[in-house]
Amino acid sequence: MRSDLTKLKLDLATTLGLFLALGGIIGGLILEKGNIRDVAQVTAAMIVLGGTAGAVLVTTPIPALKAAVSQMKLVFFEPAHDRSRLIEDLITYATKARRNGIVSLESDANAIKDRFLQKALHLAIDGTDFDDLKSMMELDIDLAQHHAEESAAILESGGGYAPTIGIIGAVLGLIQVMKNLANIEEVGHGIAVAFVATVYGVGLANIFLLPAAAKVKNRARADRQTRELLLLGVLGILEGLNPKVLRNKLSSYLAHSGLETPTAKGSKRAARAA
């Protein structure tokens, strides 16, 4: 199979989004005649990061936390889901299966890198009943989405804790300020430093953790659609559908994004001309 769902490419949206968010905040600070050193507080960062991580650990089992960490790569990198290419590959398999029998796809199945498609195709080649194959692969799809959404929920929980931990950091800073009430200059400086923890907590939640959770969910939905496309293709091959009919069914997964296979485009142009 030429298309590989395991390949990842840099997500420019995440990179640009973080750059714009941080650039806007820091740029605004500088325009207000502030200084980056005003918000560069190691102790505040320690309180917010350490406190948030600790709270997440208390609420999350270790295996689920490991899975969430592994999902983090999907925030910065996106899977190379070339659905047009996937459809072309499935049509190739369907054509070969109609000519030579579904068993002739065994060598093709062994060369497929995506485990989901490989498993589905092997089950079809081994003579698995249509309904059994469909239920087994749908269970795989449901479990994959469940695991992704569980990881997103962990990120969301961190986004909920971070602002509160930031407030705790601010209160701790104010406690230190109270010790220096006799020196008004120290008091002013101390209050400014104390509220940096709040900035870190709110910023961590709203610039990274909550958006990251949303992106993981979006990735899960896109992955589900791609796997549903693959399953529909394998089921069509198992049924012995005409490749043209199968192409029309699979092309529905491209309509929402404006993507169409070259053959589908040609068929529509011919229909309009007629």
pLDDT (tens digit per residue) in 139-153: 999 999 999 999 999
Instruction: With beta carbons less than 8 A apart as the criterion, state whether 152 and 213 touch.
Output: yes
C-alpha torsion 262→263→266→268, nearest 10: -110
**Res. 267 pLDDT band, cuts 50 70 90:** very low
The larger pLDDT score, comparing residue 255 to residue 260, is at 255
Q: Is a pLDDT exceeding 60 seen at residue 266?
A: no
Sign of CA dihedral 254, 93, 74, 57: positive
Q: What is the average pLDDT across 82-100? A: 92
Q: What is the pLDDT of residue 6?
A: 54
**Other C-beta atoms lying within 10 Å of the C-beta of residue 209:** 22
CA angle, corner 213, sides to 119 and 168, nearest 5? 145
In this prediction, what percent of the chain has a pLDDT beyond 90? Answer: 55
d(CA 212, CA 194): 27
Lowest mean pLDDT among 93-97, 156-160, 181-185: 181-185
Q: Is a pLDDT exceeding 90 seen at residue 77?
A: no
Instruction: With beta carbons less than 8 A apart as the criterion, state whether 191 and 176 touch.
Output: no
d(CA 205, CA 112): 40
**Res. 70 pLDDT band, cuts 50 70 90:** confident
